[in-house]
Structure 1
């Protein structure tokens, strides 16, 4: 009898082990992918050490995966950065640096992420803002929810917007709004609703889903309850000091902020308006945090979490008054460094949770990583799979991450970081003549206020960083230019 019991236990354990292996093999083979693609979000999150941002749902996701401390975008502006993520090709490979050129207007044959996944039997879903141009690459999404325009829900703000339209003034509505409405009154609440409804419909299919949340992009419009999470008076006014010795075009003072009603066109913003905007930025972050929570809850309820890789990422960083500047549109660290959280499917046996990685990774790496994860045959990429880092956050990785920012067609800023130092060259776009160089230290801060180029104390750092930059941007190779001129 005793022998029989032992044999039964052995068979049970063996068969149970096989079942577990089969389950792991299945989940490992071709998981689903859910990407939260956020607009204009810097690493202003609780999980990144923010002393002000209230983001419990994103923090929870970070606790379920790997948080990347040194992730970088390829250009700090919407359209090129998003094309780079979705094609695995850098802006200088695509030759597109502005928001006015759709990918498919120039590149008919480049294989995009949704195109590859659709061809391999995946439901490909685009919700909200994924590409900058909503209809770009539209045929490669099996389900496509067009991004919506900005909305104002306070009557006085709607009236201002209507008056500006009638007067033909090229000014947008107010830069922020706190209406006492539910989440779905604003577009990101509707985006999470569409995502939840879509997950319920496609739960039995393989899927690649992008949920593009538009906040905290201007205008900072979010339901009042998210504004009420914060006390405006607790926000500190950032230093308006500009980096000493910076190139004359290194910063754009206000970027797109000047295009909004109520924003002065000259001089620095006063402290009161600065706090209003910082308050609105934070309210918008908490608003999108709630949307992430809703979608993740649905993923759990539908039992999809075990077989779904979840990525939380931003298209680029952002300034909220630092250097006396606003928005993105530059090569500075705070604009090109981005939040990136990747959480493996729970059915994967080697899933790493609650870890942070200091590996240098880039948004251009996302496409090849997903190709690797899902066992697909992918196109040539400028990035590389970071799956080894996701599985082992301490893995030794790249020496450098690079980005670009064009100032018109004649000047190109190319920049490189090793995670502690940032070296930038401003070049003639055709001849590659160096117009000016910059070297900033970022060992302990996203901000740096002195250009150290020419300082003999840092000659070795300068030589090393210059070499790293020129590996990606050789002087004998002019920058590809495919941008279509803006229609006026």
Structure 2
């Protein structure tokens, strides 16, 4: 009996020791595992005209390289084609119809209607992350600044030529180094901040302003292109387009060298397109600088990298410029997600045609970091990083405010259906249906044509599922509890 008790005690001791060893080993492995860092390049006014997206006339080698290291999304969409509300949507994971922000809030508020909204930097900072905002991240939000551990917002010199500065000219090829203009400074600050944070876990936003107006870039990036290589797009507006669909060019008319009315000439159109792509290549070079620093500091292995745009852009299509519409060119954006190099399921050089939205970024990075998400409108894209060909969403949604009229729109990636509604009553004033099976440029509003009836009804049902006709006014304050 004594021997049995002795054996029992010995066995219990051995089992206890084994369990303790396993627990210690697990703790040790957890401690030794490097925490996930997140680096997001948030670019202003960048449409999907990049080499990696098949636009071989655009020189974007660093972004192309990033795409070769991750998953490139071909059907990513912004929720509103204007930077203020779009960026708030990105940073909260909430759609504009939830935030109630359809224009740039002049008071710089993130939470005018929803005081309990948890922003991306707030969530990460509350979980021990260093949160970094460099360059243009929010447009004008001030009430979220305390949630950034580091907040550097550089002022732009804008112009190398004093005469250009006087007239606020629309473009410039300055004979200057990269650091003269804002994005060069932003990249330098990002690199310096990475050096300071290399031993901490971080969420870093690098806000690159180009290719936003003015299209100013160092001369060497202009010299990558020949203006004559660019063609003037058709100025023809789609047949039967609704009267409020397009804008009067947004901010372009404010700049020097631009006619105050009428179209830009063919020569000026080519110059502006040249200037836009020179700005894209300049911005791309700054992405390359930051990525090189990430590699040199041995941070790439445990850093999730995202490159995205706040919305798309028009370069003379329909005789229009800038964004500010529900059209495909303005809502479609580039999106590249490259997992940390050490990730066991990391996909590289892969393309996903799944429908995704900018509102999905917040839940994606939170899940990747193992953080519990507040209630949001987006959904995590991590399943697509494991299986890029999987079915994900049936539709993507956007809207645009025209004062008393709100345009709400849905796309399945090939067709875009839009309703223009009385913002107070939800009464439908006009509908549009555009074919994007072969081009992002629409040629005719085919809404109401009998041969498209079944397709239109399907898209209409998808739209009404997201924007019900019996919903409250678009201007009614929406209070949501996100805790």
Alignment equivalent of 1:372, drawn from 367, 381, 385: 367
Partner of 1:170: none
How many angstroms does 1:147 deviate by? Answer: 3.9
Is the aligned partner of 1:282 residue 2:277? yes
Partner of 1:129: 136
How many angstroms does 1:155 deviate by? Answer: 2.8
- 1:134·1:147 contact (CA, 8 Å) conserved in 2? no
Partner of 2:182: 187
Cα separation, 2, equivalents of 1:353 and 1:24: 28
Partner of 2:162: 155
Cα separation, 2, equivalents of 1:224 and 1:178: 4
Is the aligned partner of 1:329 residue 2:324? yes
How many angstroms does 1:391 deviate by? Answer: 1.5
Partner of 1:120: 127
Alignment equivalent of 1:264, drawn from 253, 259, 266: 259
Q: Following superposition of structure 1 onto structure 2, how do residues 69-218 of structure 1 map, counting pairs within 5 Å?
A: 69-101=74-106, 102-104=108-110, 106=112, 107-133=114-140, 135-149=142-156, 151-158=158-165, 160-161=166-167, 173-218=168-213
Cα separation, 1, equivalents of 2:347 and 2:31: 15
How many angstroms does 1:105 deviate by? Answer: 5.6
Q: Deviations over 1:126-177 (max 9, x none)?
A: 000000016341111000002424521113213x24xxxxxxxxxxx00000
- 1:46·1:56 contact (CA, 8 Å) conserved in 2? yes
Cα separation, 2, equivalents of 1:73 and 1:229: 30
- Residue correspondences, number: 450
- 2:157·2:180 contact (CA, 8 Å) conserved in 1? no
Partner of 2:350: 355
Question: After alignment, is 102-111 or 218-227 more displaced?
Answer: 102-111
- 1:23·1:347 contact (CA, 8 Å) conserved in 2? no
- 1:411·1:428 contact (CA, 8 Å) conserved in 2? yes
Question: After alignment, is 99-108 or 279-288 more displaced?
Answer: 99-108
SS at match of 2:33: helix
Partner of 1:440: 434
SS at match of 1:103: coil
Is the aligned partner of 1:381 residue 2:376? yes
How many angstroms does 1:328 deviate by? Answer: 0.1
Which 4+ stretches in 1 moved above 6 angstroms?
none
Taking structure 1 as the reference length, the TM-score comes to 0.90
Partner of 2:44: 39
Is the aligned partner of 1:58 residue 2:52? no
Cα separation, 2, equivalents of 1:290 and 1:482: 44
Q: Deviations over 1:259-317 (max 9, x none)?
A: 11121111111011111110110000000000000000000000000000000000000
Q: Following superposition of structure 1 onto structure 2, how do residues 229-248 of structure 1 map, counting pairs within 5 Å?
A: 229-248=224-243
- 2:110·2:142 contact (CA, 8 Å) conserved in 1? no
Cα separation, 2, equivalents of 1:115 and 1:244: 47
- 1:253·1:324 contact (CA, 8 Å) conserved in 2? no
Cα separation, 1, equivalents of 2:254 and 2:174: 21
Cα separation, 1, equivalents of 2:390 and 2:339: 17
Cα separation, 2, equivalents of 1:396 and 1:24: 36
Is the aligned partner of 1:412 residue 2:399? no
Cα separation, 1, equivalents of 2:256 and 2:458: 46
Is the aligned partner of 1:223 residue 2:229? no
Question: After alignment, is 141-150 or 177-186 more displaced?
Answer: 141-150
Cα separation, 1, equivalents of 2:115 and 2:141: 17
Cα separation, 2, equivalents of 1:441 and 1:22: 53
- 1:31·1:206 contact (CA, 8 Å) conserved in 2? yes
- Please provide the CA RMSD for this pair: 1.7
Cα separation, 1, equivalents of 2:476 and 2:173: 40
Cα separation, 2, equivalents of 1:294 and 1:51: 22
- 1:150·1:219 contact (CA, 8 Å) conserved in 2? no
Q: Following superposition of structure 1 onto structure 2, how do residues 310-325 of structure 1 map, counting pairs within 5 Å?
A: 310-325=305-320
Structure 1: any 5+ residue segments left out of the alignment? 1-17, 162-172, 484-488
Question: After alignment, is 474-483 or 181-190 more displaced?
Answer: 474-483
- 2:215·2:275 contact (CA, 8 Å) conserved in 1? yes
SS at match of 1:357: strand
- 1:135·1:146 contact (CA, 8 Å) conserved in 2? no
Taking structure 2 as the reference length, the TM-score comes to 0.91
- 1:223·1:287 contact (CA, 8 Å) conserved in 2? yes
